[in-house]
Amino acid sequence: MARITLNGVGKVYPGGTRAVGGVDLDVADGEFVVLVGPSGCGKSTLLRMIAGLETITEGTVSIGDRVVNDIEPAGRDIAMVFQNYALYPHMSVRQNLAYGLKNRRTPAAEIARRVDEAARMLELAPYLDRKPRQLSGGQRQRVAMGRAIVREPAAFLFDEPLSNLDAKLRGVMRWEIKTLQRRLATTAIYVTHDQVEAMTLGDRLVVLNGGRVEQIGTPLEVYRRP
């Protein structure tokens, strides 16, 4: 786990659009922070800058005590979970879970240990030999979580991971994500436009508007408007 610090972080896209401006944020070790706000307020751009999927045009992002502006995504010690799962359709669940570790030349015995542990935590053990198309939506989302967990990253970054699921499953998965994050004590930054998700998941919420921080506080502080 690691602290994540943003200092004056901004983004101007090549066309000239200012998506994010002057964001200061300090996410503590093991904290769960949710980025909320209306569509187009810059949530996704901010998350992608932390992940390294978008260049940072102003300010600095630090993960642990390292400024990561010039470090590629794979070197940032973070794992990202997307709404479209990003699973490999031709690979089994086991292979999907192991893939990122194989790429990083993790020893085979260590890969097997981490895959088995993640499968146990996520109740995926009976499905390790299936292909993604043979799984339910919730199981696929668990595999996506599993791919993040096996990396044992310093932080999880979630980009609206539940928005493709129906309301009932969203509720279940929300609970599972929160439970896992607490158990692993891994720092998490989570983007959503769903107020219920924000309130139930976040230790603190960051409300963005027009690319700037409008409010930061606990769910109670943010939603208890006078």
Q: Which residues bind ligand ADP (CB under 6 A)?
A: 13, 15, 17, 19, 37, 39-45, 51, 53, 73-74, 80, 82, 84, 86, 100, 103
Q: How far is the CB of 171 from ligand ADP (least distance, A)?
A: 23
Nearer to ligand ADP, 44 or 141 (CB): 44
Q: Greatest CA separation found in the chain?
A: 57
Q: Kindly list the distances between the CA atom of residue 96 and the CA atoms of 90, 136, 217, in Å, as whole numbers in the listed order.
A: 9, 16, 37
Q: How far is the CB of 105 from ligand ADP (least distance, A)?
A: 12
Q: How far is the CB of 167 from ligand ADP (least distance, A)?
A: 21
Nearer to ligand ADP, 39 or 126 (CB): 39
Half-sphere CA count of 61, side-chain side, radius 13 A:
25
CA neighbor of 193 nearest in space, from 86, 84, 83: 83
Nearer to ligand ADP, 5 or 44 (CB): 44
Nearer to ligand ADP, 84 or 136 (CB): 84
**Residue count (the chain):** 226
Give the three-state DSSP class for 216. strand
Q: How far is the CB of 226 from ligand ADP (least distance, A)?
A: 26
Q: Which amino acid is at 154?
A: A
Relative to beta strand 187-191, strand 155-159 is: parallel
Nearer to ligand ADP, 28 or 66 (CB): 66
Q: How far is the CB of 19 from ligand ADP (least distance, A)?
A: 3
- The closest residue (CB) to ligand ADP is 100
Q: Count the Cβ atoms, other than its own, within 10 Å of residue 90.
A: 10
Q: How far is the CB of 84 from ligand ADP (least distance, A)?
A: 5
Q: Which two tokens stand for residue 63?
A: 């993960």
Nearer to ligand ADP, 21 or 28 (CB): 21
Judge whether 192 and 168 are in contact, CB under 8 Å: no
Interior CA angle at 83 toward 79 and 87, to 5°?
Answer: 70
DSSP state of 154: S
